Amino acid sequence: MLISQIVAMASNRVIGDKGKIPWKIPGEQKMFKEITMGHAMIMGRKTYEAIGRALPGRTNIVVTRQKDYKAPDCLVVHDLDSALESCPSEENEAFIIGGGQIYDETMSSTDRVYLTVLPREVPGDTYFPEFSESEFNVIKSDFIDAVVPYHFYIYERKNGD
Ligand SMILES: NC(=O)c1ccc[n+]([C@@H]2O[C@H](COP(=O)([O-])OP(=O)(O)OC[C@H]3O[C@@H](n4cnc5c(N)ncnc54)[C@H](OP(=O)(O)O)[C@@H]3O)[C@@H](O)[C@H]2O)c1
C-alpha cells in the first residue's frame, strides 16, 4: 500500500491558522475530493475537528491519544501504526490529509506527496514540514492559472530510498 500525503501550503509553508485553513482556492477542494475518493484518509484529531465531519465515500481515520474520543462515521485510533492497520485490506493508496503534526510524523514513511502551493506568503501558526526533495522525483508539475492561481506538484519517492 502506498502512503501518500496531500496538502496545500503557502509559499512560507503555512498550512493552517487558529485551527483552520487560511484561504480558499476555488477548484482545489474538488481536486482533493477526486484524488482521495474511495480511499482511506488518515488525519490528526485537530484536522478532523477543522473539517467537522466524516467526508463521504472514504474511510475516515482519526488519530488521537484521547481514549474516549468519539468521531461519528470515523475509525478512531490511538497511534499511527494502528491508523495504517485500519486501512481496508484492499487499499492500494492511503492518504495522510494532515495536519502539521501528522505530516511531520509520517514523512519518513511517505511514498508520494500531492502538493498544492499558493504562490504567496500567508500568516499562520501551522506549517508543512521541510522534506528532503532530493529523495523524491517530481512526476507532475502544473501551474493552474485560475481565479486564485496555484502550483500543483506530485513528488514520488525514488526507488530504493
Ligand atoms: N492546508 C492543508 O492542506 C491542511 C490540511 C490539514 C490540516 N490543515 C490545518 O492544520 C491545522 C491542524 O494541524 P495540527 O498540526 O495543529 O494538528 P493535527 O496534526 O491535525 O492533529 C494533532 C493531533 O493529532 C493527535 N496525534 C498526533 N500525533 C499522534 C500520535 N502519534 N498518536 C496519537 N495521536 C496523535 C493528537 O490528538 P489529541 O490532542 O486528541 O491527542 C494531536 O493533538 C489546522 O489549522 C488545519 O486547518 C491544513
Whether 16 is covered by a domain: the verdict is no
Which among 5, 49, 125, 126 is the best mutation to test ligand 1's pocket, defined by most ligand atoms within 8 Å of the CB?
126
Whether 11 is covered by a domain: the verdict is no
Q: Which three cell numbers stand for residue 48?
A: 478532523
Whether 111 is covered by a domain: the verdict is yes
Q: State the distance from the centre of ligand 1 to the C-alpha of 16, rounded, in angstroms.
A: 10
Q: What is the CATH number of the domain that holds 29?
A: 3.40.430.10
Buried b (16+ CB within 10 A) or exposed e, 48-83: bebbeebbeebbbbbbbeeeeeebeebbbbeebeeb
Whether 81 is covered by a domain: the verdict is yes
Per the structure, the complete domain to which residue 105 belongs is given by 24-157
Whether 10 is covered by a domain: the verdict is no
Whether 90 is covered by a domain: the verdict is yes
Burial class (CB in 10 A: 0-12, 13-18, 19+), 31: middle
Whether 50 is covered by a domain: the verdict is yes
Q: State the distance from the centre of ligand 1 to the C-alpha of 47, rounded, in angstroms.
A: 5
Mean pLDDT by runs of 10 across the 161 residues of the chain is: 98 98 91 97 98 98 98 98 98 98 97 97 98 94 94 92 50
pTM score of the predicted model: 0.97
Whether 41 is covered by a domain: the verdict is yes
- Residue 47 CA: which ligand 1 atom is closest? 20
Number of folded domains that form the chain: 1
The stretches of the chain forming alpha helices (DSSP H) are 28-36, 45-51, 80-85, 100-106
The stretches of 38-158 forming alpha helices (DSSP H) are 45-51, 80-85, 100-106
